[in-house]
């Protein structure tokens, strides 16, 4: 096995192990639930569904430090040498690499229309869009609809489960964490034969994705930290709502009415 | 990918944190009236943010406008949620006062981020008994954001009661933020009031 092949095999194993390790680590420190006799408090505890909150908050602090001293300065430098147009094209390019994984997810979800649109997007953008740098498909009435394996599991009926805040990866959940190994295996680079060049490209693409995404968020994260009383709880709320909304969007893009369980609360 | 979408939602929502709630005496409003209201409000907001004057004077004008078009007190009560039944009358009054102050400081703090903002109204859709007016909000240096404004008729005039970006509701996000502070402090509303005072101090030092 080549050096790059060993590296990728190691990464494969790591991706499979991550969800299990995260879940096990989280069990080491659990928030104590209020007694069931305190009905309102207990219901609120259940609604938050963050029994691993003490551990999650520790990971949040770790990520926050990592972000302050590494990601944010790098993203600021990246913004200094790029403009919004370039960053949009980088975003389109990275999004295009993830399109095959979305196509497979749409098939698994039983959404043939979404799957066809996704496949067409990949073909059009990879060819006429020069490897996905240009999102020409959206001008051809082939809009992007987001999905991932976490959403597939949701559509299969798996509940979101407890909230998880992962080191490096950030907000997730007991269901959504399984998207990590899925996305890793479902990228085009991973399906191709192993080579050093391909591995380097994969690392570069991942790095670019992270930096480009962080650059889009420079003001946002500053604003959340400045205005939210509890940024951790704010991120948790935004994540949960955003994920619920993505399930609804998958149904709507398919032309189907979302089931009641997928609809956000009206209050 | 979903993380990027989540953060983009956060990007659009965060500058407005602290604004939203459900009106207590709300009446249905027609889609046409809601759309006209948001089109007018959007133009006024953009006019103030992009207009002449010092940052302080524009922030003051924006605060006045926000108090006219947003049901701030009802928003505050929604954000307080179930703890409104636990808070004493004095704590409730203090909360509303601090909530209005925080809103003012948040607007001052964030007005720079909205320089060059423009609104496009795309249409309306029903949501329960409310009307959501869909808009695209564009600010230079940021990707355009699809923002839904939930409108109700309160006290005989249209009022904004929520902002929705990529499926995330501002009033729910803010309520979850605030209730986390209370639950982490043994259900004490006074802890929330304290956190709000600290936040105001922090923002006033930076403004």
Q: How near does any CA of chain A get to the CA of B54, in Å?
A: 21
- Contact at CB, A234 and B9, closer than 8 angstroms: no
Pairwise pLDDT comparison (B128 vs A143), residue with the higher score: A143
**How far apart are the C-alpha atoms of B46 and B93, rounded to whole Å?**
32
Of B106, B167, B195, the CB nearest to A244: B167
DSSP string for A12-67: HHHHHHHHHHHHHHHTTS-PPPPPTTSHHHHHHHHHH--TTHHHHHHHHHHHHHHI
Of B6, B82, B140, the CB nearest to A40: B82
Q: pLDDT band for position B25 (50/70/90)?
A: low
Q: Does A91 touch chain B (CB under 8 A)?
A: yes
Predicted pLDDT of residue A188: 62
Across the range B15-22, mean pLDDT stands at 44
CATH superfamily, domain at B2-199 = Tgt2/MlaC (3.10.450.710)
- Contact at CB, B196 and A229, closer than 8 angstroms: yes
CB pairs under 8 A between A and B: 145
Q: Does A2 touch chain B (CB under 8 A)?
A: no
How many angstroms separate the Cα of A124 from the Cα of each of A115, A130, A136, A189, A245?
14, 9, 7, 19, 27
Q: Does B46 touch chain A (CB under 8 A)?
A: no
Predicted pLDDT of residue A19: 56
Give residues 142 to 201 of B whose Cβ lies within 8 Å of A. 142-143, 166-169, 172-173, 176-181, 183-184, 187, 192, 195-196, 199
Give residues 231 to 260 of A whose Cβ lies within 8 Å of B. 232-239, 241-246, 248-249
Task: Give me the residue spans of the domains in chain B.
Answer: 2-199
Q: Is B3's pLDDT higher than 80?
A: no
Of B173, B187, B192, the CB nearest to A234: B173
Three-class SS state of B144: coil
Q: Does A222 touch chain B (CB under 8 A)?
A: no
- Contact at CB, B6 and A265, closer than 8 angstroms: no
Q: Is residue A34 within 8 Å of residue A145, measured between CB atoms?
A: no
Task: Give me the residue spans of the domains in chain A.
Answer: 7-28+51-254
**How far apart are the C-alpha atoms of A171 and B131, rounded to whole Å?**
31
Residue found by looking up tokens 């032309």 in the block: A255
Q: Does A148 touch chain B (CB under 8 A)?
A: yes
**How far apart are the C-alpha atoms of A122 and A95, rounded to whole Å?**
10
Q: Does A213 touch chain B (CB under 8 A)?
A: yes
- Contact at CB, A216 and B5, closer than 8 angstroms: no
Across the range B57-81, mean pLDDT stands at 90
Predicted pLDDT of residue A3: 42
- Contact at CB, A227 and B166, closer than 8 angstroms: no
ipTM for the assembly: 0.82
Q: pLDDT band for position B141 (50/70/90)?
A: confident
Predicted pLDDT of residue A198: 67
Least-confidence region, from A95-104, B58-67, B174-183 = B58-67
- Contact at CB, A235 and B109, closer than 8 angstroms: no
Token readout for A140 is 């051809």
Q: How near does any CA of chain A get to the CA of B63, in Å?
A: 16
- Contact at CB, A213 and B7, closer than 8 angstroms: yes
List strand residue ranges (DSSP E) for B6-52, in order. 26-27
Q: Is B176's pLDDT higher than 90?
A: yes
- Contact at CB, A224 and B14, closer than 8 angstroms: yes
Give residues 69 to 98 of B whose Cβ lies within 8 Å of A. 82
Burial B175-195 (b: 16+ CB within 10 A, else e): bbbbbbbbbbeebbbebbbeb
Pairwise pLDDT comparison (B57 vs B194), residue with the higher score: B194
Indicate the helix (H) or strand (E) that contains B58: helix B55-69
Provide the whole-model pTM.
0.82
- Contact at CB, A216 and B17, closer than 8 angstroms: no
Nearest CA in chain A to B11: A220
Q: How near does any CA of chain B get to the CA of A131, in Å?
A: 18
The residues that bridge with A186 in the sheet, in sequence order, are: none
Partners of B176 on chain A (C-beta within 8 Å) are: 48, 233-234, 236-237
Q: Could you read off the pLDDT tens digit of each residue along chain A, which spans 267 residues?
A: 344 444 444 455 555 555 555 555 555 556 667 766 666 676 777 778 899 999 999 999 999 999 999 999 999 999 999 988 899 999 999 999 999 999 999 999 999 999 999 999 999 999 999 999 999 999 999 999 999 999 999 999 999 999 999 998 899 999 999 998 887 777 666 566 666 776 777 777 778 888 888 888 787 788 888 889 999 999 999 999 999 999 999 999 999 988 887 776 544
Q: Does B11 touch chain A (CB under 8 A)?
A: yes
Partners of B178 on chain A (C-beta within 8 Å) are: 229
The closest alpha carbon to A223, from B63, B42, B203, B181, belongs to B203
DSSP string for B68-88: HHB-HHHHHHHHHGGGGGTS-
Give residues 39 to 78 of A whose Cβ lies within 8 Å of B. 40-41, 44-45, 48
B80, with CB counted inside 10 A (0-12, 13-18, 19+), is: buried
């Amino acid at each position: 096995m080549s050096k790059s092949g060993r590296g990728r095999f190691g990464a494969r194993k790591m991706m499979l192990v991550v969800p299990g390790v995260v879940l096990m680590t989280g069990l080491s420190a659990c928030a104590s639930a209020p007694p069931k006799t305190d009905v309102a408090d207990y219901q609120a505890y259940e609604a938050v569904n963050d029994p691993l909150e003490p551990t999650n908050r520790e990971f949040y602090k770790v990520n926050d430090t990592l972000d302050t001293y590494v990601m944010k300065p790098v993203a600021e430098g990246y913004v200094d040498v790029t403009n919004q147009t370039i960053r949009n094209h980088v975003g389109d390019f990275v999004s295009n690499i993830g399109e095959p994984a979305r196509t497979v997810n749409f098939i698994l979800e039983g959404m043939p229309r979404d799957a066809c649109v996704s496949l067409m997007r990949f073909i059009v953008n990879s060819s006429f869009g020069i490897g996905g740098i240009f999102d020409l498909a959206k001008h051809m009435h082939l809009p992007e609809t987001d999905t991932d394996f976490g959403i597939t599991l949701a559509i299969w009926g798996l509940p979101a489960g407890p909230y998880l805040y992962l080191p490096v990866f950030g907000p997730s959940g007991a269901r959504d964490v399984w998207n990590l190994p899925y996305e890793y295996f479902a990228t085009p680079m991973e399906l191709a034969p192993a080579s050093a060049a391909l591995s380097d490209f994969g690392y570069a693409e991942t790095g670019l994705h992270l930096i480009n995404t962080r650059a889009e968020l420079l003001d946002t994260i500053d604003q959340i930290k400045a205005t939210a009383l509890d940024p951790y709880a704010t991120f948790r709320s935004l994540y949960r709502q955003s994920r619920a909304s993505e399930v609804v969007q998958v149904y709507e893009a398919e032309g189907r009415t979302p089931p009641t369980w997928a609809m956000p609360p009206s209050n | 990918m979903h993380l990027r979408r989540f953060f983009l939602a956060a990007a659009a929502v965060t500058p407005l944190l602290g604004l939203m709630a459900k009106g207590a005496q709300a009446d249905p409003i027609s889609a046409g009236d809601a759309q006209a209201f948001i089109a007018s409000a959007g133009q006024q907001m953009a006019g103030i943010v992009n207009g002449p004057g010092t940052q302080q004077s524009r922030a003051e004008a924006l605060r006045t406008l926000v108090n006219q078009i947003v049901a701030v007190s009802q928003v505050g009560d929604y954000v307080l949620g179930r703890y409104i039944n636990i808070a004493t009358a004095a704590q409730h009054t203090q909360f509303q006062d601090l909530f209005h102050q925080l809103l003012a400081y948040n607007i001052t703090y964030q007005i720079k981020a909205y320089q060059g903002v423009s609104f496009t109204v795309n249409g309306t859709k029903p949501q329960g008994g409310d009307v959501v007016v869909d808009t695209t909000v564009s600010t230079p240096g940021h990707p355009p954001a699809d923002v839904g404004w939930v409108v109700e008729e309160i006290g005989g005039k249209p009022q904004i009661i929520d902002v929705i970006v990529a499926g995330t509701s501002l009033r729910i996000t803010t309520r979850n933020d605030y209730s986390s502070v209370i639950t982490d402090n043994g259900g004490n509303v006074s802890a929330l009031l304290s956190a709000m005072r600290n936040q105001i101090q922090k923002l006033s030092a930076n403004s």
